[in-house]
Amino acid sequence: MPTLPALSAALSRFQTALLQPQEAQRAVLRDIVQSGGGSLFGRRHGFSRIGGYEDFARAVPVSDYEGLRSLIERAAAGEAGVLTTENPVCFEETGGSTGGAKLILYTESLYAAFRRAVLPWLADVRRRRPAAFAGRLFFIVSPAARGRTHTSGGIPIGSGSDLDYFGRETAAALLPRVLFLPELLSAQSAQEWQLACARLLLGAADLSFVSVWSPTMLLLFVQAMQTHQDDILPHITDPRRRALLSRALSRDTPDTRAIWPRLDTVSCWTSHTAAAPADTLRRLFPHVFVEGKGLLATEFAGSIPFAPHGRPSERPSENANGLSDGLPTLLAIDSHFYEFAGADGIVPAWQTRAGGNYRLIVTTQGGLYRYDTGDYVRVHALHGGVPEIEFVGRGSLSCDLCGEKLNEAFVRTAMETVSPDLAQRALLQGVQDNPPYYRLLSADAETMQNHALAARLDEALAANPQYAYARRTGQLAALRVHFCADPQAYAARFFREEQRFAVRKIPLLLPPAAEGGEAV
């Protein structure tokens, strides 16, 4: 692997920002306000009169996507200077777990902000796991099988290369090692995209590093390799490689060590609802180091797994059960401006408390000002004033069968009250029966055999007064435990097709099932 000066420079900058988090955050906000002052949004909210965070918080209201949608749509239609003074490079599509697509404006400055998180992370992985960069690399960043390629104003949706997140210099250095097929960018069905990825990965005997969002994505690729090997293997030109793959894929459990003997590291989500499939991935790849990701979204970079000053950066090769295998997931302190809405109101990053639960609000270089992400995070600790955060749920994901309005963050807390790891091995879903009830979906034998668990979770959910009232009055029946052979696959039915290949986190709280309880 060649020397990558951009990685070293980004690592040094991030380490410096960690030492002065308040100054770093105030500098990010100052740059965003100064850059956006000439935009329509900036003029409306008096950016020219804003002298610091306190002025900004008074001048700009907190807003969700719907509050900004009309301005985003004007920018997507080609109108200049609406949210930013920079012209858009492209738009990206995102969406809630069950909601429709949302367009996110990308500027060069927003890409630079992502790089200030991605490059320090990549530099730290390279420092800790040098063997991960000894062979071929596979990255999945953008959604699969896009339904459209341009906005109504002719602006591209997607940049055309996931390497744009790394910057020109780093991308050029990585390109010879990155696995790529032109058809991965072309419009196609999700299944065609999946098979193209499977064929690409099987052709790389020297694969050493994989970065995907959900572990489910890699599990699906391996499943496709087994199911469609008669279609895929003829594309492998080396007869010895083809024979090896045939033997390895013909086993009940594929021999991943034989298929990819040099694979060192897989980066993917390992917490929240991704914990169970991450454990499955570790069993399928016993020779591989599986490292968790931080909080990264299409709209913003939230956190990265990183060893701060004073803590060892070398990690053991075996996998651990903690977040990112022991590395704290630190706020991406010099990427965007972050605020935290908690019990004491809205505070900047430097005023958060260890142990606090907050809803994350971000201001980005892509025209999202005081944007309510709907993501709930827990601040586990402060490292020199830098929050270590963990995603705990979506506030916008809710279920309301008869007025109880449960949201995902509350459900997670209730599950943890019953058992610390219950949220990692089960999902909750309302059933519109007569009377309606909630069911816990799990494939875990211990969960199914614990007959007291349903009653304990029912009691924990009753911390919500409306849930308790509905149970007392008989509007809600008692919670039940249901066996579900594959909760992740069942949950994927509620996603748009292009999101089913694990680009989005699986929600802990699913939309209600039909009357009578749809079979799982």
User: Looking at 33-42, 355-364, 462-471, which range is the least confident one?
Assistant: 462-471
Q: Which of 168-182, 245-259, 368-382, 416-430 has the lowest mean pLDDT?
A: 168-182
The model's pLDDT over 59-69, given as tens digits with 9 standing for 90+, comes to: 999 999 989 99
Q: What separation in angstroms does the CA of 250 have from each of 205, 284, 310, 518?
A: 17, 15, 48, 34
User: What is the percent of the chain where pLDDT is above 90?
Assistant: 57
Distances (CA, A) of 78 to 41, 87, 90: 16, 9, 11
pLDDT at 391 (0 to 100): 87
Q: Which of 3-7, 89-93, 140-144, 460-464 has the lowest mean pLDDT?
A: 140-144
| DSSP 8-state secondary structure symbol assigned to residue 296 | B
CA-wise closest residue to 444 among 458, 475, 467, 423: 423
Q: Rounded CA gap, 117 and 125, in Å?
A: 13
Nearest partner of 259 among 268, 267, 250, 271, judged by Cα:
250
Which among 390, 402, 427 is positioned nearest to 412, based on CA atoms? 427
Q: Residue 207 CB: number of other CB atoms within 10 A? A: 21
Residues 13, 34: Cα–Cα separation, whole Å: 21
Average pLDDT over residues 218-231: 91
What pLDDT score was predicted for residue 143?
A: 59
**Closest alpha carbon to 501 in 215, 294, 236, 252:** 215
Q: How far is CA 485 from CA 365, 439, 449, in A?
A: 43, 14, 15
Contacts with 489 (C-beta within 8 Å, 6 or more apart), sequence order: none
Which residues have C-beta within 8 Å of that of residue 117, sequence separation ≥ 6?
14, 294, 296, 301, 304, 332, 335
Cα–Cα dist 310/439, whole Å = 45
In this structure, the dihedral spanned by the alpha carbons of residues 31, 383, 503 and 82, taken in order and rounded to 10 degrees, is -10
User: Which amino acid is present at 68?
Assistant: L
pLDDT confidence tier of residue 275, bands split at 50, 70 and 90: confident
Find out whether 379 and 356 touch, Cβ atoms under 8 Å: yes
Q: Which of 195-204, 319-328, 397-406 has the highest mean predicted lDDT (pLDDT)? A: 195-204
Q: pLDDT at residue 99 above 60?
A: no
What is the three-state SS of 350-391? Answer: HHCCCCCEEEEEEECCCCCCCEEEEEEEEEEEEECCEEEEEE
Q: Which of 5-14, 43-52, 72-81 has the lowest mean pLDDT?
A: 5-14
pLDDT of residue 160: 73
| Average confidence (pLDDT) over 35-53 | 97
CB 330 within 8 A of CB 18: yes
- Name the residue type at position 8: S
Q: Work out the number of other CB atoms within 10 angstroms of the CB of residue 497.
A: 13
pLDDT for residue 342: 94
**129 pLDDT above the threshold of 60:** yes
Q: What is the secondary structure of 255-270 as a DSSP string?
A: -HHHH-TT--EEEE--
Please state, in angstroms and rounded to a whole number, the distance separating the CA atoms of residues 338 and 85.
21
Rounded-to-integer distance, Cα 175 and Cα 258, Å = 25
Q: What is the pTM of this model?
A: 0.79
- Rounded CA-CA distance 425/405 in Å is 23
How large is the greatest C-alpha to C-alpha distance in the chain, in angstroms? 69
* Unique residue bearing structure tokens 């004491």: 344
Residue 290 pLDDT > 90: yes
- The least confident of 13-27, 122-136, 223-237, 470-484 is 470-484
Q: What is the pLDDT of residue 491?
A: 83
Sorting pLDDT into bands at 50, 70 and 90, what band is 144?
low
How deeply is 459 buried, as exposed, middle or buried, from its count of CB atoms within 10 A (0-12, 13-18, 19+)? middle
Whole-number pLDDT of residue 409? 81
- Report pLDDT digits (tens) over 433-453: 878 899 999 998 888 888 899
The answer on pLDDT for 273 being more than 70 is no
CB atoms inside a 10 Å sphere around CB 315 = 18
Work out the percent of the chain whose per-residue pLDDT is above 70. Answer: 87
Provide the Cα torsion 53, 59, 109, 366; round to 10°: 130
Q: What CA–CA distance (Å, rounded) separates 100 from 413?
A: 27
Instruction: State residue 317's pLDDT score.
Output: 33
